[in-house]
Amino acid sequence: AQKVTQAQTEISVVEKEDVTLDCVYETRDTTYYLFWYKQPPSGELVFLIRRNSFDEQNEISGRYSWNFQKSTSSFNFTITASQVVDSAVYFCALSGNTDKLIFGTGTRLQVFP
Amino acid sequence: DTGVSQDPRHKITKRGQNVTFRCDPISEHNRLYWYRQTLGQGPEFLTYFQNEAQLEKSRLLSDRFSAERPKGSFSTLEIQRTEQGDSAMYLCASSQVASASVYTQYFGPGTRLTVL
pLDDT at A33: 93
Contact A101 B105 (CB under 8 A): yes
Provide the residue type at A78 as one letter.
T
- pLDDT surpassing 60 at residue B54: yes
3-state secondary structure of A72: helix
Q: Do A91 and B33 touch (CB under 8 A)?
A: no
* Cβ atoms of residues B109 and A42 within 8 Å: yes
pLDDT over 70 for what percent of chain B? 95
Query: SS3 for A90?
Result: strand
pLDDT at B100 over 60: no
**Whole-number pLDDT of residue B2:** 81
DSSP B4-56: -EEE-SEEEE-TT--EEEEEEPPTT--EEEEEEE-TTS--EEEEEEETTEEEE
Per CB-CB distance under 8 Å, the chain A contacts of B110 are 43-44
Question: Which of B59, B103, B105, B106 is the best mutation test for A, with the most CBs of A within 10 A?
Answer: B105
Chain A positions contacting chain B at CB under 8 Å are: 4, 33, 35, 37, 42-47, 50, 91, 93, 95, 98-106
End-to-end CA distance of chain B: 37
- Rounded CA gap, A49 and B13, in Å? 36
Given a cut of 80, whether residue B99 has pLDDT beyond it is no
Amino acid letter, residue B95: S
Residue B13 pLDDT more than 60? Answer: yes
Spatial separation of the C-alpha atoms in residues A87 and B7, rounded to whole Å: 27
Burial call B41-77: b when 16+ CB within 10 Å, e when fewer: ebbbbbbbbbeeeeeeebeebeeebbbebeeebbbeb
Of B41, B44, B48, the CB nearest to A99: B48
| Interval B11-24 mean pLDDT | 98
d(CA A44, CA A48): 13
**Tens-level pLDDT at each residue, chain A (113 residues):** 899 999 999 999 999 999 999 999 999 998 999 999 999 988 899 999 999 898 888 888 899 999 999 999 999 999 999 999 999 999 999 998 788 999 999 999 999 99
- pLDDT value at residue A95: 93
Given this model, what pLDDT does residue A48 score? 95
Res. B1 pLDDT band, cuts 50 70 90:
low
Residues in contact with A99: Cβ distance below 8 Å, sequence separation at least 6, in sequence order: B31, B33, B48, B55, B56, B95, B97, B102
What's residue B22's pLDDT?
A: 98
pLDDT confidence tier of residue B102, bands split at 50, 70 and 90: low
Please tell me which of the candidates B95, B106, B110 has its beta carbon nearest to residue A43.
B110
The mean of the pLDDT values for chain B is 92
User: Quick one: closest CA in B to A38, which residue?
Assistant: B107
Task: State residue A1's pLDDT score.
Answer: 83
Asked if B42's CB is within 8 angstroms of A106's CB, the reply is: yes
